[in-house]
Amino acid sequence: MKTLFTLTLVTLAVAVAPIAQAQDGSRMMEQMAKADSNRDGNVSKAEFLTYRAQQFDRLDRDDNGVLSDSDLPRMARIAEMIRQHTAAMDADGNGVVTRSEFANGPTTAFDMADTNKDNVVTTSELQVARATLEDMAKKR
């Protein structure tokens, strides 16, 4: 399956980070913080989804309306991790991720950070998520 995802965090993001940053989770949490469009220190799920949708054009480098391996060939060294993340977003299983699938796909990172499940990630929840990811990276 030829699919591609960004860390999104992004997920994350939201955007695929260099390996060193991705290992400690700092890039993912930075992207999450950027989603705070009203700058109140909290990231609602709506803000998160809006931010993620805005990232699609940046990631779709060949402007064909889908994310595939050809969009980020420099990321080949982490292709398997990316494929696993995108498989979850590829709702129709056709091997590519459309804008709609990307914008509306699973919100794993957000859901992990939203510990009280109120659809808002507070600054303190973001800090706890970052610390958790950093601890996980240290144990590898």
Instruction: For residue 18, count other CB atoms closer than 10 A to its CB.
Output: 12
Residue 3 placed within a domain: no
Who has greater pLDDT, 42 or 23? 42
Residue 100's pLDDT is 92
Inform me whether the pLDDT recorded for 38 exceeds 90.
yes
Does residue 92 form part of some domain? Answer: yes
Helix (H, G, I), strand (E, B) or coil at 17: coil
- Residue 38 falls within a domain, yes or no? yes
Count of domains in the chain?
1
What mean pLDDT comes out for the span 6-29?
44
| 137 or 76: which leads in pLDDT | 137
Q: Say if 1 falls within a structural domain.
A: no
Q: Taking residues 120-130, what's their average pLDDT?
A: 91
pLDDT score of 21: 40
Quick check: is 58 in a domain? yes
Beta bridge partners of 9: 11, 12
Note the pLDDT of residue 8.
34
**Which tokens belong to 16?**
């695929």
Domain ranges, residue 26: 8-139
pLDDT of residue 58: 83
Higher pLDDT, 107 or 9: 107
pTM of the model: 0.55
